[in-house]
Copies of this chain bind each other. A is one copy, B any other.
Amino acid sequence: MKYNFGAGPGKLAKEVLEEASKAITNFNNTGLSILEISHRSQYFMDVVDEAESLVRDLLEVPETHDIIFLQGGASTQFAMVPMNLLPPDGFAAYLDTGVWANKAIQEAKRFGEVVVVGSSINANYNFLPRDFKVSSNVAYFHYTSNNTIYGTAFSFTPEVTVPLVCDMSSDIFSRRIDVSKYNLIYAGAQKNAGPAGLTIVIIKKGILGHVKRVIPFIFDYRLHIENKSMYNTPAVYAIYVAMLNFRWLTRKGGVAAIELENNAKAALLYREIDDNPLFVGTARTEDRSRMNVTFTMVTAGLEQEFLNFSRDRYIIGIEGHRSTGGFRVSLYNAVTLQDVEVLVSAMREFSTQKEHEIRYSAMHGG
């Protein structure tokens, strides 16, 4: 048993993993592995149907929107979104809130004009630009709801009057959202939804087919929608595990219930960071993410010692991203409040120990 706060692929619930493991040797008592059944078998069609229906219920996706399961991660969506939605002579507005937002921008530039309406790059992305203006003639406005590396997140939907496109890779299913406000939502699954190798895309009906550009079949959303995520062989196992995970989330009370838990987990950790003299948060307070909590140490040079101290207590995955340093604690849905309590205790214990060492050293002139 480890306390896994890794940034992704992230922790999954034990009961999900146990069922996922069983299906590898004997799927639904068929005597077959989920890995060796046809994706066109009734067995698997049922899995896809259930996965889609659970996503629809969990996120309250209205009938105005389609749900598809693709491969290739959010990075593939960085290209598919402008390919399908940005006219060659059109403009798209993007918000630059981190490395991933920036990658989406660079990819979109290969398809048309991109207007970066706001950026926090000069503050190493430690806040979210809020005073940006989006011109009404853009094809869409794209933003990243949660920035894993920097620990910032939109707790609200930005108010714009143009079609909204959002990369929700790292906070989908963690909080309630109003899907009807969006033209397109996409998310790599490997944080809150399931294993790596799966991408969930939610698309408003009627928005496709208006761009004059030759779109390769495989990158045309319409074919994936028409074929109910079966245009080509899908990522069978990743869809299956995501479905198990959606069942688990539903049993837990759905997104509203997990949002309360996620709020409590984040509040506990941020309180410790703010109260503990040894640690300091890196993201601007009002933009703090409930999924990825980033902080550093006030006293430099103790980082590795704290990592070791934590590892001895089976706490793993808290190193900051290589571009920011410090610490990053990811609080995805499967991380429990108890996990966070263990971490908070370790932070407190470590800090008290260091305080004693400093006092002792001062008293004895060490």
Contact between A78 and B218, CB atoms less than 8 A apart? yes
Contacting residues, chain B, for A196 (C-beta < 8 A): 35, 39, 233-237
Known pairs A2-B30, A6-B36, A71-B72 / 20 extra A-B pairs, C-beta < 8 Å: A1-B31, A7-B38, A9-B35, A12-B35, A17-B25, A20-B24, A21-B21, A24-B24, A31-B314, A35-B195, A38-B317, A72-B72, A73-B233, A75-B218, A75-B233, A76-B232, A79-B216, A79-B217, A110-B214, A197-B198
Q: Given known contacts A20-B24, A231-B75, is B238 in contact with A6 (CB within 8 Å)?
A: no
CA distance A215 to B106 in the complex (A): 12
Residues of B within 8 A of A218 (CB): 72, 75-76, 78-79, 107
How distant is the Cα of A241 from the Cα of B18 in the complex, in angstroms? 17
18 contacts between A and B (CB under 8 A): A2-B31, A2-B32, A8-B233, A9-B233, A10-B36, A11-B36, A17-B24, A17-B36, A31-B314, A35-B196, A35-B241, A71-B197, A71-B235, A73-B233, A78-B217, A107-B217, A197-B197, A197-B198
- Cα A68 to Cα B7 in complex, Å, equals 24
Q: Does A4 contact B (CB under 8 A)?
A: yes
How many A residues have CB within 8 A of the partner chain?
64
In the complex, which residue of chain B has the Cβ closest to the Cβ of A241? B35
A124 at the interface (CB under 8 A from B): no
Contact of A232 with B73 in the complex, beta carbons under 8 Å:
yes
The smallest beta-carbon distance between A307 and chain B, in angstroms, is 14
- Among A10, A11, A238, A241, the most chain B Cβ lie within 10 Å of the Cβ of A238
In the complex, whether A219 has a CB less than 8 A from a CB of chain B is: yes
Chain A stretch 65-100: residues in CB contact (< 8 A) with chain B = 71-76, 78-79, 83
Contact A197 B25 (CB under 8 A): no
A111 contacts which chain B residues (CB < 8 A)? 216
What are the interface flags for A193-224 relative to B under an 8 Å C-beta threshold, 1 for contact and 0 otherwise?
Answer: 00111100000000000000011111100000
Question: Are B36 and A20 in contact, with the CB atoms below 8 A?
Answer: no
**A contacts, CB < 8 Å to B:** 1-2, 4, 6-12, 17-18, 20-22, 24-25, 30-33, 35-39, 71-76, 78-79, 83, 103, 106-107, 110-111, 188, 190, 195-198, 214-219, 231-238, 241, 314, 316-317
Rounded to whole angstroms, the CA-CA distance of A72 and B79 in the bound complex is 14
- Chain B residues whose C-beta falls within 8 Å of the C-beta of A39 in the assembled complex: 9, 196
Chain B residues with CB under 8 Å of A18's CB are 25
Query: How far is B33's CA from A18's CA once the two chains are assembled, in angstroms?
Result: 10
Q: Say yes or no: B9 contacts A38, CB within 8 Å.
A: yes
Query: Top 6 A-B pairs ranked by shortest CB distance?
Result: A197-B235, A21-B24, A75-B232, A79-B216, A71-B71, A196-B236
Contact of A71 (CB < 8 Å), options: B4, B73, B106: B73
A231 to B198, CA, bound (A): 16
Tell me which residues across on chain B come within 8 A of A214, comparing CB atoms: 110
